[in-house]
Every structure is written in structure tokens, then in C-alpha cells.
A and B are shown apart, each in its own frame.
Chain A
Amino acid sequence: MMLFNIFHRPGPGAHYDIYRQQQELAHQLGLKTTIFLYYSDLFDPRAIADAIHDRDTHGDEISLALHNLTGPEITEISNGQIALWLLDRERKEQILARMIGKFAEVFGANPTSIGSYHLDSSCLEVLRRLAPEARTVIGGCFEEGVRVFHGCNHSWYLFNEGMPWNPWYPSKTHGLRPARDEDDAAGVVAVPHLVRDMSLAFEGRNDFWASHPPNVIRGMGNDASFCPYDLNLIDQYRMQAEWNGGYSYYNTFVSPSWLDWNHNSEYPPEVAWELYRKFLTYMASLKKDGQLEDLTLSAYGERHRQIRPVGHDEVYLAKELLYGSGKHYFWFVDPAYRVTIDATQGGSIGDLRPYAGQAPVATGPDTPHRDIGSYPYLIQSQHRSGNAHHCYDGARTTLLLKHAGQTLDLCNYRTKVASVTRADDRVKATLTPVSFTFADGLAGELTTTYEFGNGVITISRQVSGLSAQADLELIEYFKGAPGRTEYPEDLHGIILEANGSSPVQREFDYSGQWIDAPGATEVAAVIPHVRTRLSLTSNSAASGRVHAGHLFSPYFTLQLAHRLTGNGTTRTCLNLTPIAA
């Protein structure tokens, strides 16, 4: 069953008529919407009357949009800042108090839901205090933030990265981190602003590839009013119900300006309208077939509380749709981490967010984070190179397979996700086998299986079908660095550790030196930046190595080596454990 939200908001001038046409289209199709009114709309009798009419006639919800901080007694506080989360705490509270007070004055009650591109931890705290009735929010825009620095024009930074792709319970200390438990939870259910293509949103601009037909036009993914991609993406989300308790989630939020002539499209408005109509018509057909339920945002929030307990995990198997590349990505998120497996790079980890450390972030000029509300990464292979493509590699994991003086790097082998299963509170993803051949003719297959959950990622490597009984060395490899953008952070303060016959404990010093740890069954990095200790452990390991990269390659690297003679399987745990702040 797909649960679906439609969000609409009025626009100024001629765009108001477009908003009304959007509402009319949804209602003709028998679909409910949630109407987001800006503060300035709360002074417009027509906008108020129409919203009340739609609520009373069609069951829509009237909600408050926090963006565009203009209107009486607010413009002079915001001073041109349009994003609430980028103000200092005092101004956030002043503006929220005025907005919520005006909403209650107009509608006789506080809003039951709130819309924002992002809600940082201080916004959430103020919001919960001023409007406890607002139990559901639009709370983030997936990766659309510092990544957009790569690709966006000069005026449009939203600063969200490292968040869940599906609805979540924001924690008190970071609005994008899913809460561990009720005590850790900020008290709301958050949904993303649009859902994203979990292949292309990872590789590039996620604003193009999302549940928003005119955005796909912006990305040039359409051929005039022919754009099957819009429906393909819906079906890919429907597929996720298989691994997520029978439910999937989708929303759309097309504002009127996208259905008019606009600078993000070289097509006339009729094309955007036609694609939006096809999109909603498909949703209506799914509803008619009993495969979709349309809800207001608040109703979704209450449903979420019934079907997803705080602390739940979420799985997404992404199969790239538009290029026809055949690429698979596998995503897993729970309160301990969010991880992306890049199956096309042999199952390398492409992105890792260590939620376990519960790194606190609030944004605003009164915070050290200023404008960057991301949840920091330890691996982000798009920002930080990943597999080597011209010089050194960057942040990634891999398996190095060694034999007779030759090293094969699993990142250079394409796989797919062969199966995803759930058992014993853990999720298992098995990749298709890789066929390998060494220069001396030794050949075989290697199959990787991941298990996720409870703060651990277990990596199994099964070697089978070896053409001869031979010695192999299998080295689990982790190269990472705490970061928030493309640029390196100061890595001083990281401690590299290993056990074994010559235990290692060494401060990260940019020396570029490898330190061997014979007999090690654990190698680790203590990373105060993210309040996390990351370790690789395996009782069957033979040795380890740790490395403090120099300034031209600013990463720490951990290696844990196994030796096999003939076929066999190794198991390594990647552990993320919190450390004291």
C-alpha cells in the first residue's frame, strides 16, 4: 500500500488561479490535499476563504508554511532572510510566535502540521513548545543542500544532507537524525519535501529527479509531454513496500510557478500541466485499484505512528531508471547509521552517516555550524572521490583480493543486489557474485553479503569455485574522514587504534605513514568530530594496518586482513559506537 500526500500552496497574482486549478484537478480525481498557507496568506481573505471551503468540502488540511518570511511584523525581523532555520534562535522564536499566533487567530486553533524545507533542532524545539498540536512536519529536502553547490545557480542553497529519504521521527539534537527512542525524539513525525530518485539523487542534483514532474522537465528527463520516468519513479517507491512492512510513502509539492512560464523550463506551461495531470491521474488510478491511500499530512503523521515505531529501520533498493545503466544502490537507515551500498562498485560503501554518535547540530548565525545543517558523513564518495579515477582514491570501502603479488580491487567489479531479506531484526542484502581471474590463471567467484542493524554492518565475503587450491589474502579496507562538504575538515584529534601483538594507539598526524598491527583482530578510529568510534573486527583476521593520510589525501584508512587457502568465507563487522562528547 502506498500512502500519498499532495501539497499545494497559493501563489501571488496570476499564480493564485493556477493554485486553484491544481486544487480543482486533485478534487476532480478524488484526491485530498494539504494546503500550505504562508504567513502573508493569512492576511488575504480570499486565500483563507478558499482554504476553508476546500477543507470543509473535500477534507483537505490547512497547514502553515514557514518559508518566505515576509508580512506584517515579520519582514522587519527577517530582513530579507527567507529561511527560518538560518536565523538566530531569538528571531526563530519571534517569527514562529507571530506566525502561529496569526494562524490561530484566523482559524481558531494552532496548525496541526507545518511545512518547511528544513527544520533544525532549535526550530523543532521552539515549534513544539509554541504549537504542540503540530505533530507532523515537512522537515527536510534529502540531499538538496551543500551538494547543490556543485550544480545550482547562485541563489538556492537549502543545506540538508544525510537525512532519511522516507518519513522519520526527528531527534531532539539533530532534525535530520532519526530518534533512537521516545526520549530522544523531538515529538513530531517528519516527511521529506518531495521523495527522491535514490540512484540519481545520490549521483547528482536531486531536485531534478524527484516526485515533481516540472522538476523532471528542469532536468530534461522529458520529451515534451511524454515522460514515463515520472510514473517509473512512483512504481519504484511502490516496490519498496516489499521490504518495509507492506507500506511505501510518496508525496508531491508543485507550487504554481512551476505550472507557468518559468526560467527552469524551455517548454510552455501546457507541458508541465499535462505531466502533472498524468502524475495525479496515475495516483488516482492506484487509489481506485486499492493500492494507494491519499491522506492529509496530519493524517499521515498519525498513520506513521501506527505503522512505524520510533527507532524503526528503513530499506530502499534503488534500480537506476533513466540512463538504463542497470545500476543498483542499496540504502539502509536506522537510528545508528544511514548507509549506501554502491553495487556497481563491487558493493563499496558510497555514503555513511554515523548517527550513533548523535552529533548535535543547530543552524543559524549564533551557532558554530552557521548554514550547514547536514548530518556529517564518514564516507561520501561523490564529494570525496570514492574509487580512484585519476590519482588516489578517496572515501570508500572495498575488498582487496591478493594473490601471487597481484591485488584486485573489488570496486572495479560491477555487481547487483541479488536479494534482500529480513530476519531477526536485521536486514540482509546479498550481491551477485563477482568472477575474478589473476594473472597466473587462478580464477574463482566472490559473493558479498551485508547484514545491517543494531549499529553494526556485517560484511561476509564468500570465495567459491577456485580453479586451484591456492593462498588468498582478503583485506577489508575502509577509507574515510568526517566531513560535511566537498572540502576536508581538520582531522587532528582522531585516534587510530589496533590490537594484536603490537597494539597501536596513535594520534592522526597527517604523516602519511602506515602502521602495521600483526595479529590484529580489530582496527579502529576514534573520531570526536562525530562522537563515534568506528572499528573493523573479525576473530579470524590475521593482521591489521592503520594509516594517517597526508594533506594531499586527508583521510584515515583501516585495513583488516584475512588469509584463506582455497574456498572459504570471511566475516568482518563494521561497528559504530558512540563516544563521550
Chain B
Amino acid sequence: MSESNSYRSVMRCPVCFSRDTDVLMIHTGTDFHYCTKCSFQGLESEIRGMYRDIQKKFHNMGKRITLEEQRAL
């Protein structure tokens, strides 16, 4: 679990992920990561913002729904 693990700089393309496809982007050492499948490229901060956008559809992402509450859903 080394902090220097190469996966640390690997991110999935947020455009492909939004259509349910995991595609690892390539990080060339510049600020940009680019997708090998589609035309997207972006900064890490921009990509993480896009991940947040993807999560906006999960309205209950932070909500604990207990067994009793589920019975009433």
C-alpha cells in the first residue's frame, strides 16, 4: 500500500464512466490526463469535479435506510 504506487496517478475517464465504461486514462507527467477511448482530457481537479457530477444522481448516497424504513419505502 505504498503511497508511491503507480495506481495513485491513474484515474478513470469521467466521460466513459458516465456511460458505465471503466477506461483508465493515461497521465503523461504533464498536468493532463487523457482518455484512450474517447476525446476527453482534463486536469485532475477537473476530473474529480466530474466524478462529483456523476454522483449527483445518487440522491440517497449519504442516507442510511434501516430495515424498518425500507419496509415503509
Q: Summarize A's interface: helix, strand, loop or mixed.
A: loop
Cβ of A269 and Cβ of B1 under 8 Å apart? yes
Does B70 have its Cβ within 8 Å of any Cβ on chain A? yes
**Interface residues, chain A, with chain B CB atoms under 8 Å away:** 14, 150-153, 204-205, 218, 220-223, 226, 228-229, 231-232, 235-236, 238-239, 260-264, 266, 268-270, 319, 321-324, 326
Task: Give the contacting residue for B57; candidates A231, A319, A323; CB below 8 A.
Answer: A323
Does B46 have its Cβ within 8 Å of any Cβ on chain A? no
In this complex, the member of A14, A260, A261 whose beta carbon has the largest number of chain B beta carbons within 10 angstroms is: A261
**Interface residues, chain B, with chain A CB atoms under 8 Å away:** 1-3, 5-8, 10-12, 17, 19-24, 48, 51, 54-55, 57-67, 70-71, 73
A-B contacts, 11 of them at CB < 8 A, read: A153-B21, A220-B54, A220-B58, A229-B60, A236-B70, A239-B71, A260-B5, A261-B2, A266-B12, A322-B60, A324-B58
- Answer whether A220 and B51 are a contact pair too, CB < 8 Å, given A153-B21, A323-B58: yes
Task: Give the contacting residue for B70; candidates A220, A223, A239, A268; CB below 8 A.
Answer: A239
Task: Give the contacting residue for A228; candidates B21, B62, B67, B73; CB below 8 A.
Answer: B62
Cβ of B51 and Cβ of A218 under 8 Å apart? no
Task: Give the contacting residue for B58; candidates A226, A238, A239, A322; CB below 8 A.
Answer: A322
Task: Give the contacting residue for A235; candidates B2, B55, B62, B67; CB below 8 A.
Answer: B67
Cβ of B58 and Cβ of A151 under 8 Å apart? no
- Answer whether A218 and B66 are a contact pair too, CB < 8 Å, given A262-B7, A266-B11, A323-B60: no
Task: Give the contacting residue for B64; candidates A228, A239, A326; CB below 8 A.
Answer: A228
Task: Give the contacting residue for A263; candidates B7, B48, B65; CB below 8 A.
Answer: B7
Cβ of B20 and Cβ of A205 under 8 Å apart? yes
Cβ of B48 and Cβ of A321 under 8 Å apart? no
A24 to chain B, nearest CB (A): 16
Closest to A269 in B: B1
Cβ of B73 and Cβ of A326 under 8 Å apart? yes
Task: Give the contacting residue for A153; candidates B23, B55, B63, B70; CB below 8 A.
Answer: B23
Instruction: Give complex CA distance A322, B63 in Å.
Output: 9
Cβ of A218 and Cβ of B22 under 8 Å apart? yes
Instruction: Give complex CA distance A390, B4 in Å.
Output: 49
- Answer whether A204 and B20 are a contact pair too, CB < 8 Å, given A223-B61, A228-B64, A319-B73: yes
